[in-house]
Amino acid sequence: MKPKEGLDLNEAKSFAELVNVASEQCGDRVLVVPGSPSTSYLMQKMLNIDICMGTQMPKAGQSLPAAELAAINAWICAGAPNN
């Protein structure tokens, strides 16, 4: 099965697929901007804030639990380390 939007988010590839990578949906935005969750398109998609196309990730009405969103936000704030 081909990953949505061509993203492969398995553990071995997710860093290279997300960090400092231009969004396929919005070429002027970056999926993960290290240190800046508010300008990271990944966070915008998960929070349904100012998205360019499509719907919230995961599907609208099925948001990630608050603890998972907070963990992703903290990872981006910490500079999105490859860990």
Where in the chain are the domains? 11-77
Q: What is the pLDDT of residue 60?
A: 61
Sign, CA dihedral 72-76-82-83, equals negative
Residue-wise pLDDT tens digits, 17-68: 899 999 988 889 999 999 999 999 999 998 999 998 888 887 766 788 899 9
Instruction: Kindly report the pTM of this predicted structure.
Output: 0.84
Distance, in Å, from the CA atom of 75 to the CA atom of 66, rounded to the nearest integer, reads 14
Distance, in Å, from the CA atom of 82 to the CA atom of 16, rounded to the nearest integer, reads 9
Q: What is the pLDDT of residue 1?
A: 44
Distance, in Å, from the CA atom of 61 to the CA atom of 63, rounded to the nearest integer, reads 6
Residue 67: how many other CB atoms lie within 10 Å: 7
